[in-house]
């Protein structure tokens, strides 16, 4: 099993690597939210991450720290590698990491008692009236039923037991023999519009790595398929660019942002360069730049006119767009000035 990869704890909250959105550091243009000085023999790194706790602010949370110049490149390379690995894990690893987080939340909030685990199974899996079975399974697995003495291994085995029990009860397709299923019957049951002669059917066969002379699956393979990207409601082909991109703008739906620079309201709150960065990283292809003459300098500024919003330098906005415009998408970015 693979627990979630965590990086640090900020204000009592764990940062998980797959929730890190981007990094700012001294070796590129840095639009820091913390304008603090640091020793000459070190460089700063800022990590912007999405919290598990529901956000009240638009901007991501940030963790800042300093690294010695000699170890800076190593730090940055290792951090980027770890983040990339965390975001490209298998569906099974994603399930295990989610389950580990749920285990930790339950342990810290209510304690790992029979009642709390039974309540969790009820709210997350719809398991009702099985308290005695929960207690019996924990004992069979070898876990203690005392508060907070149930290990993650026991918790996971308990979860797997009820998932398999639940899905087994729902599986109504014909079996070749006990706990073995014909792949054609499985796909016909789940995807009635897929014919056995289509490319989709063949790709599903390849996914299972089954013996093509028998086409038999066990229960675990069926369950893994249900949780896999192959069974996702989202059509993965929609992620591929298919327009010819030669028509006029009115032929396309464009992901756009209004008042991109605003982090909150249009009256008192400061604008932020990170609003542009976040919009572009989310795939936005049209950002708004409200440009006015500089109030205290000769440089143009970006702000909401006739308000108390602290302005941004146009130079910083354009540099941020230059740095982040094509990380998520190669499609053209429209700057609405």
Catalytic residue set: 258, 304
> How many CA atoms, within 13 angstroms, populate the side-chain half-sphere of residue 13?
15
Q: Yes or no: say if 183 and 207 are a contact pair by the CB < 8 Å rule.
A: no
Cα–Cα distances in angstroms (integers) from residue 18 to residues 10, 190, 241, in the given order = 16, 30, 25
DSSP H helical segments within the chain, as ranges?
69-87, 91-109, 114-125, 131-141, 152-170, 183-190, 199-208, 219-227, 273-281, 314-324
Region for residue 17 given its phi and psi (left: phi exceeds 0; alpha: psi -120 to 50; beta: otherwise): alpha
DSSP 41: T
Burial code (b: 16+ CB inside 10 Å, e: under 16) for 205-214 equals beebebeeee
Q: Yes or no: say if 91 and 98 are a contact pair by the CB < 8 Å rule.
A: no
User: In a 3-state reduction of DSSP, which class is residue 114?
Assistant: helix
Cα–Cα distances in angstroms (integers) from residue 24 to residues 49, 168, 300, in the given order = 12, 48, 24
| Cα–Cα distance for residue pair 312/321, rounded to 1 Å | 13
| Cα–Cα distance for residue pair 295/14, rounded to 1 Å | 41
Structure tokens at 85: 């690995």
Q: Which residues contact 229 (CB under 8 A, 6 or more apart)?
A: 91, 236
Structure tokens at 260: 């991109």
Structure tokens at 57: 């602010």
Beta-bridge mates of residue 291? 302
| Cα–Cα distance for residue pair 155/153, rounded to 1 Å | 5
């Amino acid at each position: 099993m693979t627990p979630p990869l965590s990086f640090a704890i900020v204000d009592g909250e764990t940062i998980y690597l797959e929730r890190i959105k981007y990094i700012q550091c001294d070796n590129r243009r840095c639009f820091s939210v913390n304008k603090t000085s640091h020793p000459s023999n070190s460089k700063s790194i800022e990590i912007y991450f999405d919290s598990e706790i529901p956000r009240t602010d638009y901007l991501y949370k940030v963790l800042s720290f300093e690294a010695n110049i000699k170890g800076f490149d190593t730090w940055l390379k290792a951090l980027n590698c770890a983040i990339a690995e965390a975001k490209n894990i298998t569906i099974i690893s994603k399930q295990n990491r989610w389950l580990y987080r749920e285990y930790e939340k339950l342990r810290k909030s209510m304690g790992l008692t029979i009642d709390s685990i039974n309540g969790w199974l009820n709210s997350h899996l719809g398991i009702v009236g099985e308290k005695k079975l929960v207690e019996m399974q924990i004992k069979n697995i070898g876990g203690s039923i005392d508060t907070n003495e149930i290990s993650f291994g026991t918790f996971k085995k308990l979860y797997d037991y009820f998932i398999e029990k639940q899905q087994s009860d729902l599986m109504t397709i014909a079996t070749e023999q006990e706990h073995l299923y014909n792949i054609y019957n499985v796909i016909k049951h789940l995807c009635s519009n897929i014919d056995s002669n289509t490319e989709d059917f063949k790709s599903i066969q390849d996914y299972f790595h089954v013996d093509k002379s028998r086409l038999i699956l066990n229960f675990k393979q069926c369950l893994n398929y249900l949780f896999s990207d192959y069974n996702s409601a989202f059509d993965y082909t929609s992620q591929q660019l298919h327009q010819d991109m030669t028509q006029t703008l009115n032929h396309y739906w464009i992901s756009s942002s209004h008042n991109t620079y605003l982090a909150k309201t249009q009256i008192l709150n400061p604008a932020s360069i990170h609003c542009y960065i976040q919009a572009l990283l989310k795939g936005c292809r049209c950002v708004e730049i409200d440009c006015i003459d500089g109030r205290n300098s000769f440089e143009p500024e970006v702000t909401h006119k006739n308000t108390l919003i602290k302005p941004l330098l146009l130079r910083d906005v354009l540099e941020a767009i230059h740095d982040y415009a094509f990380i998520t998408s190669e499609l053209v970015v429209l700057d609405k000035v």
